[in-house]
Every structure is written in structure tokens, then in C-alpha cells.
Amino acid sequence: MRSVRRSGLFRVGPKRKRNALSGVGPHMPTPRPSRTSLPAWTTYRTSWDRMQERYVPEREDRFAVMGDILTEALPRSARILDLGTGLGSLAERLARRMPSAQIVAVDHDPVLLRIARESLAGSPARIQWVDLDLRTPQWAEALPRGRYDAVVSTTALHWLRRPDCTACIAPC
């Protein structure tokens, strides 16, 4: 017998198996892009943010501090690189705070990028979603060209090799 919790945060039952997609596992049901509507993606993002807040209680405070620093230090039309964006939680908050900014949001999970792209389609800032694996050598060379005014990340810097991280951040 299989039971699915209504909140959509995890599944329980004898047929539990690990999902091959990163960011999705036995604790989170796999979203089905072809059968899921925009309201469902938004609900999924909201559930994700709530779950993250339980694991990192100061998460919203961290986002707010990053936003405070960036809005104070950067021009209104800043170009910001968000590494390991996931569902775009930080990109969304920066877009609200900096509606003239250009945000390049990078992640390597196509499901998470699709949820982010579709649920944030009406965002006031221009967000460019990029599928890129930060664990590959010279990943920075594959980024959209141009100067970045800031490089931000919430939980992805541990994936970076020091030379690649330095090369990406050095021009900022």
C-alpha cells in the first residue's frame, strides 16, 4: 500500500526509490513538466521555499542581506550572476528588489530550471536561465559573455573548483 502526503513534500510506501534527477529524491515527488500547469509550479516552489526555511531558518534574512548589499553597491541596471539557482529563490527576490537588473541564473537541473522559468515568467527583472554544470572544468567559459557586476550563490559554491571560481569572480 502506498501513501502520498498531501503537502507534496514527500512520499512514503514500499515502492520508494531514489530519483535520478538531482534536487529531487524520495523526499520530494518528481514534477511532471508535460502535465503540470503554471499554478502547480508556483505551488511547488512555495512548498520548496517553506521546506528550505525549516532547514535554514535564517534563509530569508540571508536573501534580504544580499539584496541590501547589492541594491546599495550596484547600479540599477546591474548584471548579476546567480550560481546554483535551483528554483530561482534568490533570483526572484533580487528581481523584485532590482527591477532593472539583468540576472543570469545558472543551474544544471533541467527540471528545476523549467519550474523556475515558468513560475517566474512575470518577474520584473530580466532573468536569463542557463543550464550549466558547475562541476565541469572551465565552466566559466560557457557563461553568457559580458561583465558581471556581482556573483551570488546561496548553496552552490562548494561545487566549484577554486581556479574556476576565482576566474569567474576576479573581473567583478
pLDDT given for residue 7 in this prediction: 38
Is the CB of residue 81 less than 8 Å from the CB of residue 108? no
Is the CB of residue 171 less than 8 Å from the CB of residue 151? no
- Angle 127-93-152 from CA coordinates, rounded to 5°: 70
Mean pLDDT value of segment 14-29: 44
pLDDT given for residue 71 in this prediction: 96
Rounded CA separation 57/53 (Å):
5
Q: Please, which pLDDT band fits residue 131 given cuts at 50, 70 and 90?
A: very high
φ/ψ of 144, rounded to 5, equals: -55, 135
Rounded CA separation 107/131 (Å):
5
C-alpha cell at 165: 571560481
Mean pLDDT value of segment 18-30: 45
Mean pLDDT value of segment 66-93: 94
Q: Please, which pLDDT band fits residue 35 given cuts at 50, 70 and 90?
A: low
What is the arrangement of strands in the sheet containing 150-153, beginning at the earlier edge strand?
126-131, 102-107, 79-83, 150-153
User: Quick check: 125 pLDDT over 80?
Assistant: no
| Residue ranges per structural domain of the chain | 59-169
pLDDT given for residue 79 in this prediction: 96
C-alpha 107 chain-centroid distance: 7
Report the CATH number of the 59-169 domain: 3.40.50.150
Rounded CA separation 100/71 (Å):
11
**What percentage of the chain carries pLDDT values higher than 90?**
34
pLDDT given for residue 52 in this prediction: 75
Mean pLDDT value of segment 68-96: 94
User: Quick check: 74 pLDDT over 50?
Assistant: yes
More confident residue, 147 or 68: 68
**What percentage of the chain carries pLDDT values higher than 70?**
71
pLDDT given for residue 17 in this prediction: 42
pLDDT given for residue 42 in this prediction: 74
Averaged pLDDT of the chain: 76
